[in-house]
Chains A and B, each alone.
Chain A
């Protein structure tokens, strides 16, 4: 690894100043599970690492039944999985966090890091899309909020400007009778990158769907929403048949590529399967809420 300096500020302001001053040669480190590999491979060569883990608001999970969730971007995945509020109100996002790498990786990796690394195959991104999550970003010109569906601009790329940091991830409190679910397909049982990831969040009124969102990973240059599939479900009963049809519509949203993990054709097929399963899983949870 190349030489670099390291600093661990304790406030967002300090971190923003450090990142602004060093411009393109400074980089945020959180768990480091993506960044250190990129640095070893000389893909990135930051001269300064700004460690954000000592910033209290980035390490907290706070939930209010009215205003919803403020998830610190630097909270490690293992703390999310161990958090009873996260398990209860956002089970789909929690299971996505619990699928990243190994437990060793989950002890370090964060959802904010997963978001900012902006891999098309990031496990938590489809779950965040399904929940309608918003990134709260601090920067030299103050703070702004960007919905996750507008956050990604390409593989490994996002809207963050020089000096900007994702401080928190904001998610609305779940509506009554709503729930989320995340499922992915990987070529082996553990420790791999998704061929397809599907996140779904549905709200039910009796049998009928009143709101639905579907997020897909690893099937486009960025994680994407499948809005037509979600719209199709509104007002319908969510069962095997309608879930199957929603899966077909989700396939149309995908524009996958061939790679060593799977062909585009296979991925498109799996989008349909996982969308159906994620929807049915979310509905089953929603009925219990």
Chain B
């Protein structure tokens, strides 16, 4: 929609332009999510909805302008109530690191953090995300400042085609926030909802164990 600040559909071209390397470089790009240059971030005004995001007014069926907190920034978008968080991330905000695969909550490729918990972005309406903190793979770390889980995935070669990887990373990052030293069964449980068709699971488990260890050295971890 023209004239709506953030709400400009970002062309995939910029993502294609970014992922142009080969081998390890391309793999690393997949791993941290395509770092698409984002449209200017609008600063939130403080008259945001209550903490539960509840607004007792009818929204839609036409497009409405809502505000979502994504990777620490308030983003204004104009969407119909039927639009999912996944569609907003990819089609409105240019955050292509969150992958669209099954679009029915079964594969985990679109795993993000909602208030710190792992959720699948395809199974959540954007209007339902008002008032919540969304973190995507792009918000977890950058190529220069990788999150320990991202760095561990590079080290452990924990990907093949890489399509499930952002979701795997998000699931394991959420696990480590909750449980800093998980055992292998807890790791398996954490990525049970992340389907890898290449069968890279053993390397994923190794990466998770290594990330837990590296975070142990720096207790707060995170992308700082």
Contact = CB atoms under 8 A, between A and B. Distances in A.
Interface of A: 1-10, 14, 29, 31-33, 36-37, 40, 47-49, 51, 53-54, 78, 101-105, 107-108, 189-191
Contacts of B54: 8-10, 51, 53-54
Given A8-B54, A10-B56, A108 B192 contact: no
A6 B193 contact: no
B195 to A, nearest CB: 8
Given A103-B189, A103-B190, A104-B120, A40 B59 contact: no
B57 A36 contact: no
B61 A191 contact: no
Interface residues of B, number: 39
A6 B123 contact: no
A53 B131 CA distance: 12
The B interface, classified by DSSP as helix, strand, loop or mixed, is loop
Given A32-B125, A102-B108, A8 B118 contact: no
27 contacts: A2-B82, A5-B61, A6-B58, A7-B59, A9-B54, A10-B52, A10-B56, A29-B125, A32-B124, A33-B123, A36-B123, A36-B125, A40-B103, A53-B128, A54-B50, A101-B193, A102-B192, A103-B118, A103-B193, A104-B118, A104-B123, A105-B105, A105-B120, A107-B118, A108-B123, A108-B124, A190-B192
A32 B128 contact: yes
B119 A3 contact: no
Given A104-B120, A108-B123, 5 more contacts: A102-B108, A103-B189, A104-B118, A105-B193, A190-B189
Contacts of A189: 192
Interface in B26-61: 50, 52-61
Contact of B104 (A10, A37, A53): A37
Contact of B105 (A33, A78, A190): A33
Interface in B104-162: 104-106, 108, 111, 114, 117-120, 123-125, 127-128
B193 A104 contact: yes
A47 B61 CA distance: 8
Contact of A104 (B61, B108, B128): B108
Contact of B119 (A4, A7, A48, A108): A108
Contact of B60 (A4, A31, A37, A102): A4
B98 interface: no
A194 B166 CA distance: 29
A70 to B, nearest CB: 19
Contact of B193 (A9, A10, A102): A102
